[in-house]
Amino acid sequence: MKAIRLVGYTFGGLSAVYAGYYTVLYLTRWEWQRALISAALLLVVEVFLATVLLLTRFARLEERLEQSDARIEDVRRRLEQTRAPAPNRFNWLSSVDRTELNGTHRTFVFVPVLMVAGAALSGLALVIQKVAGATARPGAERRLAGRLAALAAAPAAGSTARLADQPAMPPARTGRKVIAVVTAVAALALVPVLWTALADATQTRAEKAPDSASTTMVFRVETRGDQSAQAVQLAAQDLWETCRRSTAAENGNATLNHMRDGVYAGVVRPALPQHDVMRLRGCIEDASTNRTSAVVVGEGQAEYRG
């Protein structure tokens, strides 16, 4: 069971790290569709890990309840062993040997007027006393054992030792506490760095235009289903018009030229800043249009010639 749980945690942890890494990576590349898919996968893995954790906790609770019941029964048996025999509260109704002589004259209780009603009431009181002694004492002892079980030493996992042989306090585990503290400090120190890097990669503020005449983006377009030249041309035009509006810089002069089968060159004048080039490339490779995929094969800046 422990091996299966360890495999589940390992698989889920590695999958969560993998999905989280690609979520951040696609966000920095401005590939929103892929980032959404990776984030959805991350949520699925987190739900899986949470489910495994809850099932593990439920199993531990069930095991603890069973151990608690066993400890209560152990304490109750110990109480029964140390219990004094019940006194006979109706000694005058008990049978005695009248011929026994022990040096004293035993005085018996006689009812002056022995009536049937008195005998019936005495018999009824005896029955009530026996029923109460047979029912109230086990329940009271069980409740007392349940209250005393909290003071008993907890049994070790898989241990069959007796209650008296178990230590009162479990051994201290300082190694786990040190590892947990170091991990928490490292995570807190890493969060601001990752936050700053992600914010800088996904910023939308306008940047200074480079000293170039134009930006050229060459990409290949493929369609599924209808692969005619007209369909590819429409898909490429739709993709280019969508992605050219994803940049923060003004790009009113943006043309698309067909080079060869499925390969197109988009030219933006004036040239885009480096961050906008990254956003344009990410949008094209993300290919959010229906049944269309695109791959950037080259990009560059056209320098001014003096």
pLDDT, tens digit, for every residue of 29-53?
A: 888 888 888 999 999 999 988 888 8
Lowest mean pLDDT among 94-103, 132-141, 256-265: 94-103
247: tokens are: 């940049």
Residue-level pLDDT at 153: 56
* CB-CB contact of 255 with 267 (8 Å): yes
Residue-level pLDDT at 219: 93
pLDDT, tens digit, for every residue of 148-198?
A: 666 665 555 555 555 555 555 556 677 778 888 888 888 888 778 777 777
Boundary residue ending a domain (154, 176, 201): 154
* CB-CB contact of 218 with 296 (8 Å): yes
Lowest mean pLDDT among 14-18, 87-91, 279-283: 87-91
Please check whether residues 3 and 123 belong to one and the same domain. Answer: yes
Does residue 173 belong to any structural domain of this protein? no
Residue 12 is part of which domain span?
Answer: 1-84+119-154
**Domain of 246: which CATH number?**
3.30.70.1130
β strands within the chain, DSSP E: 212-223, 253-260, 263-269, 292-303
Does residue 207 belong to any structural domain of this protein? no
Residue 239 pLDDT > 60: yes
| Buried b / exposed e along 256-279 (16+ C-beta atoms within 10 A) | beeeeebbbbbbbebbbbebbbbb
Residue-level pLDDT at 218: 93
Please check whether residues 125 and 244 belong to one and the same domain. Answer: no
* Closest by Cα among 242, 221, 240 to 293: 221
* CB-CB contact of 265 with 257 (8 Å): yes
Please check whether residues 1 and 147 belong to one and the same domain. Answer: yes
Does residue 204 belong to any structural domain of this protein? no
Cβ-Cβ contacts under 8 Å for 162 (sequence gap 6 or more)? none
**Across the strands, what pairs with 300?**
216
Please check whether residues 149 and 265 belong to one and the same domain. Answer: no
Crossing angle of helices 116-149 and 32-82, rounded to 10°: 140
Boundary residue ending a domain (154, 172, 204): 154
| Buried b / exposed e along 87-105 (16+ C-beta atoms within 10 A) | eeeeeeeeeeeeeeeeeee
Does residue 41 belong to any structural domain of this protein? yes
Please check whether residues 15 and 149 belong to one and the same domain. Answer: yes
Please check whether residues 291 and 145 belong to one and the same domain. Answer: no
Please check whether residues 142 and 233 belong to one and the same domain. Answer: no
Please check whether residues 139 and 226 belong to one and the same domain. Answer: no
Lowest mean pLDDT among 13-22, 86-95, 196-205: 86-95
Please check whether residues 138 and 264 belong to one and the same domain. Answer: no
* CB-CB contact of 292 with 235 (8 Å): yes
Residue 202 pLDDT > 80: no
Does residue 38 belong to any structural domain of this protein? yes
The number of folded domains in the chain is: 2
Token pair 């000694």 is at which residue? 91
Does residue 95 belong to any structural domain of this protein? no
Please check whether residues 51 and 141 belong to one and the same domain. Answer: yes
3-state secondary structure of 158: coil
Please check whether residues 125 and 269 belong to one and the same domain. Answer: no
Please check whether residues 149 and 232 belong to one and the same domain. Answer: no
